[in-house]
Amino acid sequence: MILLFLPFLLGLADASSKNVPLRSPADYKANWTDLTEALNTGVKFWTKKRNYSFEGVDCNSWERIDLSQTVYNFFDRYRVRRTGWTQYTMTAALSNTTGGPQMKVRLPFQKEHQATPYLLRFWSHKEKCGIFTISNYRCEQRIWNTHTGSSSDDCDAAYDTLCGTTGIPVYKRSCVDPN
């Protein structure tokens, strides 16, 4: 029986050590303004950590090309095992669903039904950091380039609550691309 409560107790200890109040997943609900603010940046929007592994990808960022009320076009850049960068131009249809603000991300040549849904679950205006769930089970914490060296306690607490405490680090200083 104690094993069932152990993750909760460990989470309680972790959250209290950061002076971040514990919240339930229902308390984290992003809105449309949060999504447009998160995407409306001229700097790279890095994946800081995620709860899934992705074949040696050790850095990943989005960079805005253009943004309207319904479409976000961006570069999706990633590096595999520190060898070199790959870049794709992506498009996302933006919508406000009952679950929250959503992006349906796809390559431009793909059909709409092939798009992957990204739901913004949390956005910290102060930390410029957010939590996306992808297809309902994968999770990513993303942060603006201008805030990668700053504290993100609120965003980290939201990640732990919404995604679990498994966080595979993706962003590191070596990700900064000179190009």
pLDDT tens, position by position, 29-86: 899 999 999 999 999 999 999 999 888 898 999 999 999 999 999 999 999 888 889 9
What torsion, rounded to 10 degrees, do the Cα atoms 80, 62, 106, 160 define? 80
Its domain, for residue 150, covers 31-171
Identify whether the C-beta of residue 168 lies closer than 8 Å to the C-beta of residue 19: no
* Number of domains forming the structure of the chain: 1
Residue 52 included in any domain: yes
**What's the Cα-to-Cα distance from 150 to each of 5, 11, 134, 139, 154, rounded to whole Å?**
32, 22, 25, 21, 12
Residue 17 included in any domain: no
Residue 78 included in any domain: yes
Q: Provide the token pair at 170.
A: 């993706």
Higher pLDDT, 124 or 7: 124
Q: Does the pLDDT of residue 1 top 90, yes or no?
A: no
The residue-averaged pLDDT of 167-173 equals 90
Residue 26 included in any domain: no
Per residue in 111-139, pLDDT tens? 999 999 999 999 999 999 999 999 878 99
Residue 75 included in any domain: yes
Residue 62 included in any domain: yes
- 165 closest CA partner among 16, 2, 49: 49
Burial annotation 47-72 (CB, 10 A radius, 16+ → b, else e):
bbbbbeeeeebbbbbbbbeebeeeeb
- On the CB side of 16, CA atoms within 13 Å amount to 6
Q: How confident is the model at residue 10 (pLDDT cuts 50, 70, 90)?
A: very low
Beta bridge mates, 53:
none
Residue 79 included in any domain: yes
d(CA 12, CA 106): 38
The CATH number of the domain where 114 resides is what? 2.40.128.20
Q: What is the pTM of this model?
A: 0.83
Residue 115 included in any domain: yes
What letter represents residue 30's amino acid?
A
d(CA 40, CA 171): 20
